[in-house]
Amino acid sequence: MSTSLLIEQMTIREASRLLSEKQVSSVELTQAVLESIRQKDGEIQAYLTVDEEKSLARARAADEARANGADGDLLGVPVAVKDLINVQGDPCTCASKILSGYTSLYDATVIARLRKDGAVFTGRTNMDEFAMGSSTEHSAYQTTRNPKDLSRVPGGSSGGSAAAVAGGEAIAALGTDTGGSVRQPAAFCGCVGVKPSYGRVSRYGVTAFASSLDQVGPMTKTVEDAAILLQSIAGHDPHDGTTLNEPVPDYLAAVRNASLTGLRIGLPKEYYIDGTDPEVMASIRKAIETCEKAGAEIVDVTLPHTEYAIAVYYIVATAEASANLARFDGVRYGHRAAEPGSVFDLYAKSRAEGFGTEVKRRIILGTYVLSSGYYDAYYGRAQKVRTLIRRDFETAFGQCDVLLTPVAPTAAYRIGEAANDPLKMYLGDVFTVPASLAGLCGASLPCGTTAAGLPIGVQFLAAPFREETLFRASQGFVLASGN
């Protein structure tokens, strides 16, 4: 078996079995991942940086721990990390020139937790600059290609993580999802992506884009692997006051007990409208049939404020981003312009040189919607409509356990096709942003391919903090569809 084949199929579950049966060491496993990266990343360009020495040192430590009797699903398992999550001593550029050369001073809580469980961090994955985008084309450094068709985008903003997992360059990865950035790239590349409920996972040490929406989520080959990663990273964190202070349920048990029998699956009529690619819709219809045959009850529901979600999201997210990105000023972090004429000039030049076009667009938009005179008309109003969107979901979840929808209106598009048309790209987020605004948890699972072989994803959504239901439904669907 060639090394690349090994990593292409390797899951966390399988890796941990091989490790605990001593059939393979963490060093061997990590070497296999690094070898796959060497072979494939020239073409796919999923990684921004890989530090082989450091990865192997982490693997050696995991092997030693196992030799001393330690065990665990993640002990010695290599994991790739999106380049906006801080890993102490590693670069963290957020795919932006403004953070070029920046090294993290501390571990994000999700990293500290994975580290405690013995995961081996192998490299930093590419993304849209500061997670703003849906195709990873807004990276300041490189264009990641979809491993299933190199002429196409991997989705975004966690496109590097998705491409690494789907392209056989990682066993599993972390991404972040503000308005769809875990779910949509998972769908475009054909892997599993889970966005936890807002407040389930700590944002401490995760570079902020839109603080009321951001969540870290697993990107994996199986639902079970996503449960393993979420089990490790979830839970209350004193460093993040928005995390829920309650015990984390047993997600692996939810996966083991998965079944669709008696599960009420809601189909929101606003998500089944013209405009979605017919091949995508055909796969979604097939997924619904599969669920029904497996004993699920299909219910029609309505989310009447869906049509406002994109507008609300692009007001709230840009407003928060404009405030969060104020810290990149040439003084405290990152790039500083040479020979500024004044302090104002230092800020202006450093930011003009450091940020890319999409980030600037959003800072300008966000500053505008927050400015006095426009605040009430835009930001204040958007917050009110956000409440209506959340209430729509509350009502719907009175009638069903999960919702089933497409992840995106199309499969992966060609590189360059939407890059210069921001509105077109924003509209592609129509099925993912409403759940983000409402703080729901959601999963994206492969559910078929187009005639050209491009992956199609189905989205399951569950009420806030109902990840167990989400895992039950997701794994139930995988088992029923034989995927």
Q: Does 125 bind ligand GLN (CB under 6 A)?
A: no
Query: 381 CB contacts (<8 Å, ≥6 apart)?
Result: none
- C-alpha angle 389/258/458, rounded to 5°? 45
Concerning whether 181 is annotated as a catalytic residue, the answer is yes
CB of 210 to ligand GLN, least distance (A): 8
Please tell me whether the peptide bond between 157 and the residue prior to it is cis, using omega within 30 degrees of 0: yes
Residues that bind ligand GLN (rule: CB under 6 A) add up to a total of 13
Half-sphere exposure in the Cβ direction for 242 (13 Å, CA)? 14
Q: Pick from 30, 93, 134, 215 the residue near ligand GLN by CB under 6 A.
A: 134
Nearer to ligand GLN, 209 or 477 (CB): 209
CB 348 within 8 A of CB 336: no
CB 98 within 8 A of CB 328: yes
Q: Does 197 bind ligand GLN (CB under 6 A)?
A: no
Cα-flanking dihedrals φ and ψ of residue 342, to 5°? -160, 175
Candidate list 157, 158, 232, 444, residue with the active-site label: 157
Q: Does 317 bind ligand GLN (CB under 6 A)?
A: yes
**What is the per-residue binding string for ligand GLN in 159-178, x denoting contact by CB under 6 A?**
------------------xx
Q: Does 320 bind ligand GLN (CB under 6 A)?
A: no
DSSP secondary structure letter of residue 132: -
CB of 178 to ligand GLN, least distance (A): 3
Q: Does 8 bind ligand GLN (CB under 6 A)?
A: no
Write out the DSSP string of 356-403: -HHHHHHHHHHHHHHSTTTTIIIIIHHHHHHHHHHHHHHHHTTT-SEE
Concerning whether 20 is annotated as a catalytic residue, the answer is no
Q: Does 193 bind ligand GLN (CB under 6 A)?
A: no
CB of 211 to ligand GLN, least distance (A): 12
Concerning whether 82 is annotated as a catalytic residue, the answer is yes
Q: Does 55 bind ligand GLN (CB under 6 A)?
A: no
Stretch that binds ligand GLN, among 127-135, 229-237, 294-302, 331-339 (CB under 6 A): 127-135
Instruction: Give the separation between CA 304 and CA 267, rounded to whole angstroms.
Output: 13
Q: Does 129 bind ligand GLN (CB under 6 A)?
A: no
Nearer to ligand GLN, 122 or 178 (CB): 178
Q: Does 131 bind ligand GLN (CB under 6 A)?
A: yes
DSSP secondary structure letter of residue 306: G
Q: Does 181 bind ligand GLN (CB under 6 A)?
A: yes
Q: Does 419 bind ligand GLN (CB under 6 A)?
A: no
Q: Does 36 bind ligand GLN (CB under 6 A)?
A: no
Write out the DSSP string of 227-271: HHHHHHHBS-BTTBTTS--SPPP-HHHHHHT---TT-EEEEEGGG
CB 458 within 8 A of CB 413: no
Instruction: Give the separation between CA 264 and CA 295, rounded to whole angstroms.
Output: 9
Which has the closest alpha carbon to 11: 294, 257, 255?
255
Candidate list 82, 148, 195, 221, residue with the active-site label: 82
Nearer to ligand GLN, 72 or 179 (CB): 179
CB of 32 to ligand GLN, least distance (A): 30
Catalytic residues: 82, 157, 181
Binding-site ranges for ligand GLN (CB under 6 A): 131-134, 157, 177-181, 209, 317, 429
